[in-house]
Amino acid sequence: MTANTVTREVEWGECDPAGIVFNPNFASWFDHCTTLLYAAAGWPKQKMVKDFAIVGCPLVETNAQFRAPARYGDVVTIDSAFVEVGTSSFKVRHRVTLGDRLCVEALDTRVWTAKDPETGRLKSTAIPAEIISAFTA
């Protein structure tokens, strides 16, 4: 399965009064890392949207386990990987580490989504074979 790694320094504004990363900021990091993961698979988000006339891949479920804090100035590594690709949805695992210490592990489920031409509403649709192949490479 395709994977990608990002290294980043924790910024002051990402921390709560206790000096540790405010939990909702991890969701923002994971969203950004998912976009980078698409590119690592050879399909930048803008290209997927254009070539397949989708609106995107919204997050429909997330689960995170917070094991150890990350603090201002820490340099963390975020490993993201596709772990399951289905007919119209896929799962991405994110692991935030500080050295050898696991800080956060999350599993996100996203859905390949297009606009229904009749209703204009969003609907899940089948992930194209070339995307499945790229995500699972």
Hey, which residues are catalytic here? 16
- 3-state SS, the chain, equals CCEEEEEEECCHHHECCCCEECCHHHHHHHHHHHHHHHHHCCCCHHHHHHHHCCCECCEEEEEEEECCCCECCCEEEEEEEEEEECCCEEEEEEEEEECCEEEEEEEEEEECEEECCCCCCEEECCCCHHHHHHHHC
